[in-house]
Amino acid sequence: MTKIERHGPGAPDSSAHAVIHHTPMSADPDEHWMRQALAQAEDAARAGEVPVGAVVVKDGQLIATGRNAPLARHDPSAHAEILALRAAARRLGNYRLDGCSLYVTLEPCAMCSGALLQARLARLVYGAADPRTGAAGSVLDLFGDARLNHQTRVQGGVLADAATCCAAFSASAAAGSGPRRWPATHCATMPCARPMPPLPACRTTPGRRIT
Of 101, 207, 209, give the one whose Cα is nearest residue 155.
101
Residue 81 among the catalytic residues: yes
Catalytic member of 31, 42, 81, 107: 81
**Cα angle 160, 16, 10; round to 5:** 145
Backbone CA torsion sign across 19, 111, 173, 74: positive
| Active-site amino acid positions | 81
